[in-house]
Amino acid sequence: MVKESTYYDLLGVGPGASEAELKSAYKKGALKHHPDKNAHNPAAADKFKEISHAYEVLSDPQKRQIYDQYGAEGLEQGGAGGGMAAEDLFAQFFGGGGGAFGGMFGGGMRETGPKKARTIHHVHKVSLEDIYKGKVSKLALQKSVICPACDGRGGKEGAVRTCTGCNGLGMKTMMRQMGPMIQRFQTLCPDCQGEREIIRDKDRCKRCSGKKTIVERKVLHVHVDKGVKTGHKVDFRGDGDQSPGMLPGDVQFEIEQKPHPRFQRKDDDLFYQAEIDLLTALAGGQIHIEHLDDRWLTVTVEPGEVISPGEIKMIRGQGMPSMRHHDFGNLYIQFDVKFPSAMFNTPERIAQLEEILPPRKQFAPPPADAMIDDFNLEPVDQSGQRRAQGATSMDEDEEDGVPHGAERMQCASQ
């Protein structure tokens, strides 16, 4: 006496049906309700899935025993409620997409080809000079290849046997009864230790020790194109690991740009920090910049072109080459003007400056009845400068009365 008969009813058989009767009933129902044959009937697709799931359970002796005793609820509690997709079961039952029933309904079933070995990932760090000029890097890697001595069998021909303990799965399904429930779990096959096959020690391949693959050194030529950016990937199809019964894997190199001591890069533009003296900033002069291709750029500050501290100028076309547009970005130069420390502390020099420079800015004097305190400026150490710069950045974030972080909090809550 079974607890429930829903799965048997879906297949149209009784609880005492044999394995052959189950197969015949599934074949008939699956062909009748297959989605490719009933493209305009969504109910048929649901029926096809239900029939496939019922047959998957009842065709497995262990699952059928649990279902007969505890019903569908017992399958879920025992960890056996999953299973393969209905299309995969259909393809397995009828021999896949190329079998006798493969093209019956217009070839709608999925083809299941050989799996592919893992992809080998490497990060290739490249200097900014090499990205500017382009280069070909020779990179060596270690990969697994099919053992040539045994052709990937792992031992002598005919000496490799499928493990009978797990039927070549590498795992064994165990069941444990815990009160009214049955726990179902998988464990590593103790007979083959998960290898799926059994090879006697004397028959193992001497070169690969039965592992079927050996490690080989491979040198690849990685083309670093001009203007390539961090994150760009260079793929080598089929040059990765090899494994018996699988397609060779790929090798993928990801480009990562190294930090540069002189230039900062943003997309196709370069940024350079130039330090000039006060005389050059006021009266003009020249600076020299070593570029990324061993050229030196001579940059002229024209007399009368006053450079303010922090001012940014541009040289068009002297940035990075563009991979997409085949032209060059721009070079931006930010000037840091260094003032002399103690050259104008004599009355004579101060008088000379007052004669050359524009007059001092006149500030409105305080009211006549105001209380006035006199102060002198003091130098600030590095810690004080950091605090002052932090306060300045906070003021910029809080302009228009918006506190620091308030806008980000509002965006996050939307």
Over the stretch 260-308, which tens digit does the pLDDT of each residue have?
999 999 999 999 999 999 999 999 999 999 999 999 999 999 998 899 9
Contacts of 223 (CB under 8 A, 6+ apart): 134, 136, 234
Residue 136: what pLDDT?
94
Beta strands in 179-311 (DSSP E): 181-188, 197-198, 213-224, 233-236, 251-257, 263-266, 269-277, 285-290, 296-301
Residue 34: what pLDDT?
82
Q: Which residue has the higher pLDDT, 119 or 70?
A: 119
Taking the C-alpha atoms of residue 163 and residue 282, their distance in angstroms, rounded to an integer, is 87
Q: CA distances (Å), 217 to each of 10, 123, 183, in order?
A: 57, 18, 47
pLDDT single digits (tens) 182-239: 777 778 888 777 777 888 888 888 898 888 899 999 999 999 999 999 999 999 999 9
